[in-house]
Chain A
Amino acid sequence: MRHILSLLLENESGALSRVSGLFSARGYNIESLTVAPTEDSSLSRMTVVTTGSDEVLEQITKQLNKLVDVVRVIDLTDGSHIERELMLVKVRAIAKDREEMKRIADIFRGRILDVTDKTYTIELTGTGAKLDAFFESLDQDAILETVRTGASGIGRGERILKV
């Protein structure tokens, strides 16, 4: 099953590699991993998307908590949450395809950030599943380049991850 783990970790050099090293050393999956500083400059917030059975997830959480640089760990998928990922896609847009590309981007609430006479660069945010769906609806030959940030997530309502 897919899980989104949110971590607060000490904003110290090496903290990221402690987490990524743990996943590779113990053979856990990483679907995506994102990290950036928070409003508290001593802390980074990391989001790791992983897959595994309940037992594996329990071990991942325990092992993460054991790392000295990891301050808190929660599994967002344990409760209601919001997941967002940003994607930039450069597509070929010539002649009659231009209108079709614009139309698909609109349907998915994408924004065209850059236009040339041959290409569009589309920005799209949403869940991983939504971004996947957008891909599938495109003519695969028209995709020139893509970049995705990996998922970020936050709990809904009163569910707050803070030190």
Chain B
Amino acid sequence: MTEGQIAELTGAEIVSRCLAEEQVEFLFGYPGGAVLPIYDELFKQDKVKHILVRHEQAGVHAADAYARATGRVGVALVTSGPGVTNAITGIATAHMDSVPMVILTGQVPTDKIGEDAFQEVDTVGITRPCVKHNILVRRAQDIAPAIKKAFHLAATGRPGPVVVDIPKDVTLNSTKYFYPKTVSLRSYNLVTRGHSGQIKKAVDLLMSAKRPMIYSGGGIIMGNASELLSQFVRALGYPCTNTLMGLGGFPATDPLYLGMLGMHGTYEANMAMQDCDVLLAIGARFDDRVIGNPEHFMAVDRKIIHVDVDPSSISKRVKIDVPIVGDVAEVLKAMLNCIDESKSSSVEVNVDAWWKQIGVWREKESSKFAVSDEVIKPQSVVQTLYELTKHDDVFVTSDVGQHQMWAAQYYKFDRPRRWINSGGLGTMGVGLPYAMGVQFAYPDATVACITGEASIQMCIQELSTAQQYSLPIKVITLNNRYLGMVRQWQEFFHGNRYSESYVDALPDFVKLAEAYGHVGMRIEKPSDVEGALKEALALKDRLVFMDFITDQEENVYPMIPGGKGLSEMILK
């Protein structure tokens, strides 16, 4: 419908029309009293496919993963009160990782707001700290502009989740409908093109560096700038590292790649970060899991260039010498042009000595682990999965903990948007719903959910959703009968006192998977790992739940203890 055609519609019809207007493919949700009129409209249309999850948290996670994997806005719909509170973890997870999302929430009728009505919660108040923006819609005629604004805010600048809270009476009232074509917000002015003087300065610094380093994060993925980053890094021939959120932003199999950095990053990536003389940080935010102690990091004399679309990310934890606010893709384009111009004129500094030093660090082989014939090493499961699938287009989701780190360390991501995990909030339970969201977006792709026996139980009810929609996810559980990362910290920092970190009374996951109508497999011997994975991957149309019984007390190495610096890694 265009602005010219005006029809009188109910608020609920408007919601449905707006979603179609935004070409929403999937709406992940769960019905309830306050959203019944909207569900009634969804019933009558076939443009937007509603996906019925088993818990609102999982619905938001699935929409979040759909957004991460496709780059489009993920959309979820929940009812008022408990629907909203259940959704909060999902919203906060998306917010921490800057994922573009619109979450529509039902609300009690406007005349009941503030009366502690049944299933009432102050949605705008309770979501405020974990959204990019939120809007309470008070009149039917405000629905379309609010939804348009929400999609615009969610997807532009530094993306993020936007909540639109719609009281029930607003969805029942009728009004003239037209969907606005554009949004104009006087308070929301985006800077996309970086300052040309700063870009020149940055390139000059990089060209004169003796020990350069390029560090990129999730911004490269969200900003669709992986291709440009690869061109840029290769044009310079400089070393590059990715954050946990940035994996796949630069190809992991490229010789210029030093592996992931940070708390569980490679020795060479962390040492190069610490010892470089010029650092280019792009779409990354120097968070505590990446650079550890900022004082330790800043004790070394180096020049830092920081490119980010969000000015508040710059100079937040470390002081920046050359700040560049802008869209990472735009800035990379400008920097590439700048290199071409200056390459001919300026003297190229030889960085061979630096690469030689990096070679020495690489010889530490910090990712090496002791293989075993007796017990399955969790790392080897990920490694085998990678070897079996590296030529296919595979998406890997994970939950949170040791298995997440092993997945990040041993699965080599060469492309963006293939690694889907909760980096910022560290939300256990995301793995399975994330795999669902990705599988909806790419029904023919292999989607592997690398998880642990504790994390998987936090959203295990979604095995039912996966059955309903025939999602052939491969759940790879690295079952060590511990909250592995908690146990590891207790071993290192709490005198081996494993307080409440043993996962007792585990279900029989094979039977559980079968009870949900899926295929279950238990793998206990190292010699069975490859065969079992092959068998599972060959079951193209079935969800396979693989329960790998792994080494119980394996640790994730290298590790930078909390509060320590990048060069203070524990290697084994």
Contacts and interface: CB of A to CB of B under 8 A. Distances in A.
Contact of B311 (A10, A13, A65, A70): A65
B315 A66 contact: no
B515 to A, nearest CB: 43
Given A17-B125, A18-B128, A71 B315 contact: no
A10 B187 contact: yes
B330 interface: no
B133 A68 contact: yes
Given A68-B153, A68-B187, A71-B187, A21 B311 contact: no
A62 B312 contact: yes
Given A17-B125, A18-B128, A58 B315 contact: yes
B128 A69 contact: no
A59 B312 contact: yes
B33 interface: no
Interface string B305-318: 00000111001100
Contacts of B185: 68
A36 interface: no
A146 interface: no
A68 B187 CA distance: 6
A21 B125 CA distance: 10
Contacts of A67: 187
Contact of B187 (A25, A62, A69): A69
A13 B110 CA distance: 14
Contacts of B187: 9-10, 67-72
Interface residues of A, number: 22
Nearest to B186: A71
Nearest to B138: A13
A27 interface: no
Contacts of A59: 312, 315-316
Contacts of B188: 68
A153 B303 CA distance: 39
A72 B185 CA distance: 12
Interface in B127-141: 128-129, 132-134, 136
A14 B312 contact: no
A63 interface: yes
B136 A14 contact: yes
A117 interface: no
B312 A63 contact: yes
B520 to A, nearest CB: 44
Given A68-B187, A71-B187, 6 more contacts: A10-B187, A17-B125, A59-B315, A62-B312, A63-B312, A65-B311
Interface of A: 9-10, 13-14, 17-18, 21, 25, 55, 58-59, 62-63, 65-72, 163
Considering the complex of A and B, which 8 residue pairs feature the smallest CB-CB distances, nearest first? A62-B312, A71-B187, A68-B133, A62-B311, A25-B129, A63-B312, A66-B312, A21-B128
